């Protein structure tokens, strides 16, 4: 499994367009369970700043992460940025290889 971090911005063209945040989160949870049973949502946060949400997922590969990003777009996110997250210990091990 690989860990991906998704930064998300809501798309608000007019008030009421986006479901309530609780409904949006519940819908995301249902769709993930149905469409991506191998994926695990590790954490979700509301952010203050340039992005509105941060989601952390463990998924089998980058292709599935991209599909989840598309799902998140379909739920009303206007923009996402997806980053690969490497546990520090794994990175540390890479540095020590030679």
Is 60 exceeded by the pLDDT of residue 15?
A: no
- For 4, 83, 85, 92, the CA distances from 88, given in Å and listed in that order, are 14, 15, 9, 6
pLDDT at residue 19, as a whole number: 58
Largest pairwise CA distance in the chain: 56
Domains of the chain: 2-96 (3.30.70.920)
Residue 14 β-bridge partners? none
37-49 per-position pLDDT tens digit: 999 999 999 999 9
43-95 per-position pLDDT tens digit: 999 999 999 899 999 999 999 999 999 999 888 788 899 999 998 888 888 88
CA distance 87 to 94: 11
Residue 23 buriedness (CB in 10 A; 0-12 / 13-18 / 19+): exposed
């Amino acid at each position: 499994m690989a860990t991906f971090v998704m930064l998300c911005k809501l798309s608000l063209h007019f008030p009421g367009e986006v479901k309530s945040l609780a409904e949006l989160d519940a819908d995301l949870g249902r769709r993930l369970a149905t469409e991506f049973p191998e994926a695990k949502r590790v954490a979700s946060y509301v952010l203050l700043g340039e992005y509105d949400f941060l989601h952390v997922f463990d998924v089998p590969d980058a292709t599935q992460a991209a599909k989840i990003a598309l799902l998140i777009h379909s739920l009303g996110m206007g923009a996402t940025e997806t980053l690969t997250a490497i546990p520090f210990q794994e990175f540390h091990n890479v540095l020590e290889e030679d």
